[in-house]
Amino acid sequence: MTVLSGKNIIVTGGSRGIGRAIAESCASAGATVGLNYLHSERSAEELRERFPNQIELLKFDVGDHAAAKPAISDFIARNGKLDALINNAGIARPHLFASRRDLSTATEELRVNTLGTMNCTHIVLPSMIKARQGLIVNISSVAVVQPQTGLAVYAASKAAVEGFTRAIAIEYASRHIRCVCLRLGPVETDMLRNGVSEEAFSRQMPDHTLVNRLSTPDEVAQIVHMLLTGPSALATGSILDFTAGYCL
């Protein structure tokens, strides 16, 4: 498949889980992918070895604007333009809010999930404005509307991402830049496993979806692929619900 040939795409948090599936899907379709990672270096290198002509590794912390800017700017300069940014990087630190000794872990969730999305968007917008085209896809969570116990900060960080999505879509619609948000239900990833018990992962969480199973990273990648290639010009400023009918 070469339907994305000539497209340049950055995927944050691209070495594992949902981000890895998105990066792999885009590279398989011929895109040049800037794969951002911070800790999972071996996993990122393995993906580059599979797609040596499609994947460039971008190691930086999305929550650090000073670190993210040169990495993103250099990728755009090398490739001439940026067609899409997929703000996927995120963390969850489940904890009862009043039981936290301090808010340091809360600050980290907000720094990565919310500020990280804002940082990367801020850095790519000048290039997209100049080209008068671009797509920004932000990843949110059903926790915004159906938070579980211990996810108060995570839910707040993702709610901010949803509001940010709408605002960016409004501000830059005249420049033909689209910004959409995918609100995902439980997806079978390491992050989800780390956030819930084995019993909840294997039995309770699938029971809370109308399809009676968890989503997979590959299914999320298919949704992103649709936004990149399909007749999705009207999908801007939208919070697209792909929660499998999740409810508590």
Return the domain boundaries, the chain.
8-232
Third-level CATH fold of 8-232:
Rossmann fold (3.40.50)
pLDDT the model gives residue 215? 80
pLDDT the model gives residue 203? 54
Report how far residue 128's alpha carbon sits from residue 84's, in angstroms, rounded to the nearest whole number.
9
pLDDT > 70: what percent of the chain? 91
Q: How confident is the model at residue 123 (pLDDT cuts 50, 70, 90)?
A: very high
| Inter-residue contact 71 to 59 (CB < 8 Å) | yes
Q: How confident is the model at residue 133 (pLDDT cuts 50, 70, 90)?
A: very high
Q: DSSP characters for the chain? A: --TTTT-EEEETTTTSHHHHHHHHHHHHTT-EEEEEESS-HHHHHHHHHHSTTTEEEEE--TT-HHHHHHHHHHHHHHHS---EEEE---------GGG-SSSHHHHHHIIIIIIHHHHHHHHHHHHHHHHT-EEEEEEEEGGGTSPPTT-HHHHHHHHHHHHHHHHHHHHHGGGTEEEEEEEE--B-SHHHHHHS-HHIIIIIHHHTSTTSS-B-HHHHHHHHHHHHHSS-TT-SS-EEEESTT---
Note if 172 is an active site residue.
no
pLDDT higher than threshold 70 for residue 246:
yes
Which pLDDT tens digit goes with each residue over 26-35?
999 999 999 9
Which pLDDT tens digit goes with each residue over 145-163?
988 888 999 999 999 999 9
pLDDT the model gives residue 243? 83
Q: Which of 37, 154, 172, 246 is catalytic?
A: 154
34-38, 58-62, 104-108: which has the minimum mean pLDDT? 104-108
Tokens linked to 4: 């994305």
Bridge partner list, 215:
187
- pTM higher than 0.85, yes or no? yes
pLDDT higher than threshold 60 for residue 18:
yes
Who wins on pLDDT, 239 or 200?
Answer: 239
Q: How confident is the model at residue 175 (pLDDT cuts 50, 70, 90)?
A: very high
Which pLDDT tens digit goes with each residue over 48-66?
999 999 999 999 999 999 9
What is the residue-averaged pLDDT of the chain?
90
